[in-house]
Structure 1
């Protein structure tokens, strides 16, 4: 059984001794949460504007999600994909119906895996006479697509490539949307991009340029691959940011918010017959527990969307951000992002760092993105009182500078 009586110093010691040092952890632990509020064992309260880096889309301690997970766990948690999995089929159907694209879905366990599947689809698409004819995939500078060897190579940030070469061949980098036209060659099979770069500074792409690119790629028979690991599942106000941009991708990868905290990834494609049995697979992907959680999350968020609550929440949150920009123009340059995937561009990286630290001291969790952006990814179910309280704490953090 989990022992809640461990002292935090003991836990930090265990973490230091037994866990690989891949995270710079803060000396704090949380024991439970209620929507956008988190609590330590000693009942210190935090407002969470990060939602586990965009994962806890329906908040912490959501009773509907907890009940769905508990009920499924009592029946079946996992079986092989050799057998029919009811919630998997239902979740695929739900995703396709909500986005309105004529696609099929593959389920995995993470965003990186969803992108790995997308890459394999593109490579097989590039085959001709059972040989790879086109294999190159273009990505953008400042992009982030995962931490496996291939998705790391697809990631357009050199700092993340240190220590891990050699990488798989076939990934080309463009400076920006305009430069893609210069990089495309006869061996290009796909273009993989984030419509809003999450780790790259919450940078939305220009809508007209994306629509022009989509048309160009269609004419060249090159796949438009959209990484919606962070921007998907209503984070931008629509089921996918692709809907906001008015485009129809050939492949969409998504993950974070889909399971509400249960690991799950999904790859959707209009190449409905691209794979045959044994081309791809996953032991855990699409199991009973993760897809049941995904179904519950989509049901909750669909209600928020259809009722108008989501758009009202987005409007409120962004109005608060605009007020921060107005009142603290000496700290921030502008607001960026779409929906509840947004950020404040700080004047420099030192301000960014201090705001994040000060916010933590005031009981508010916010994130960093890029060189100087303070990132906000609150639960999509965040309430007005949680928004107001969170921004009051952010104001106090700003006033300390």
Structure 2
């Protein structure tokens, strides 16, 4: 029934798995046949505090029983409090614009950069340098900002101009010209294969760009909200970007995006906007999510979970060197390089059959993004099931 309805009435932009999930408890999901699955995906890095989180659910229920939405024509108390919370946790002097998704957040970041380039220089600066294998969204502009030629289908052309792509951090220096306004990168390329960049290389680039007056935009849509072990990967790398974007885990499942910038006066009323962005529902949920994760971090439990998950991942890797070639990632954003794409294509459905959800990244990386609150018992069971899947295909 579900499959029939979906195929008839929903546009087919994803290859669906027609399991019908009915309930979730932390990192465990249950389908309509009461089969349970360990979730090593958290909805592609979204369900940061786990499925069915009672604190978040109670917060949402309380909020929607009063006000769900009014519009940004009026001050929104939880939005203002969330902006303050982000500034304090980031340890930066920033202000935030709230949107509905990561792609929208990156659109906002590009608009800030373009206005900066229009107003801060004698000549117009508008070009943005990104990296190959990056991923910044699926709108027309963020698709073009994404450094993957496979994303630039002629079906959706023409695209906005002003974007170029470098293969390595070192290449960026030679690509800058007198029309370059910003460099936009992920500190860990998620869709590009869970590939972190070297801290020293990023710090050197940040210093260089600051001297040149060129903006550094860090896309933390996937790495933000403690995914790498700190509130922001930028904190972990000890840099202070001009613009940071967030989404995914920030709302714990409620759609929200954020454009965070040190250029607090760059936008004027009318420059940008969003009907739904930052409304009572999304910012109330995000405030509660950050409270939970901040406490989780300060208690030491997040670091314990990261260490334990990495230990079990290392064991799996070392026991299956015939399948995997490398272990990559930071915090609870992990990947295993698979020897070939065909093997990876077998792992994901076989793991599903065994009751553990995993993801693909790039051409040959098995990606693991569990809820940050995943328990040791769920980690143990998930890796047991994944090991069973690997035994089946090898």
Q: TM-score when scaled to structure 1?
A: 0.97
Q: 1:25 corresponds to which residue?
A: 16
Q: Which residue in 2 is equivalent to 1:329?
A: 321
Which of 95, 98, 103 is matched with 1:107 structurally? 98
2:66 paired residue number: 75
1:232 paired to 2:224 = yes
Deviations 1:13-52 (A, max 9, x none): 1111111110100121100100000001221000000000
Note if 1:203 corresponds to 2:195: yes
Q: Where do 1:80-159 residues align within 5 Å? A: 80-128=71-119, 133-159=124-150
CA gap of 1:264–1:131, structure 2 versus 1, over 3 A, is: farther
Task: Decide whether the 8 Å contact of 2:206 with 2:216 is kept in 1.
Answer: yes
Maintained 8 Å contact 1:305/1:311: yes
Task: Identify the range of structure 1 (123-132 vs 222-231) with the bigger mean alpha-carbon deviation.
Answer: 123-132
Root mean square deviation of aligned Cα: 1.0
Report whether the alignment pairs 1:49 with 2:40. yes
Other structure's SS at 1:75 match? coil
- The equivalent of 1:4 in structure 2 is none
How far is 1:128 from its partner?
Answer: 3.6
The CA deviation at 1:172 is 1.2
2:160 aligned to 168, 180, 199, which one? 168
Counterpart residue number, 1:248: 240
2:83 aligned counterpart, secondary structure: helix
Shift of residue 132, structure 1, vs aligned partner: 6.8
Distance 1:215 1:11 in 2: 53
**In 1, Cα distance between equivalents of 2:162 and 2:144:** 9
Q: Determine if contact 2:335/2:366 at 8 Å carries over to the other structure.
A: yes
> Do the aligned partners of residues 83 and 237 (structure 1) sit closer, same or farther apart at CA in structure 2, a change above 3 Å counting?
same
User: Match of 2:371, SS?
Assistant: coil
Gaps of 5+ in 1: 1-9
In structure 2, the residue matched to 1:373 is: 365
Is residue 375 of structure 2 the alignment partner of residue 383 of structure 1? yes
From 244, 252, 255, the counterpart of 1:260 = 252
Aligned partner of 2:312 in structure 1 is: 320
Once the two structures are superposed, the pairs formed by residues 262-281 of structure 1 within 5 Å of their partners are: 262-281=254-273
Q: Is the 8 A contact 1:250 1:269 kept in 2?
A: yes
Structure 2 residue runs of 5 or longer lacking an equivalent are none
8 Å CA contact 2:130–2:185 kept in 1: the answer is yes
Alpha-carbon distance, 1:109 to partner: 0.1
Tell me which of 329, 338, 341 is aligned to 1:349.
341
For residues 45-66 of structure 1, give each alpha carbon's deviation from its aligned partner in whole angstroms, at most 9, with x where no partner exists: 0000000000000000000000
Q: In the TM superposition, what is the alpha-carbon distance from 1:129 to its structure 2 partner?
A: 7.7
Q: Are residues 182 and 74 of structure 1, via their aligned partners in 2, closer, same or farther at CA, if it must alter by over 3 Å?
A: same
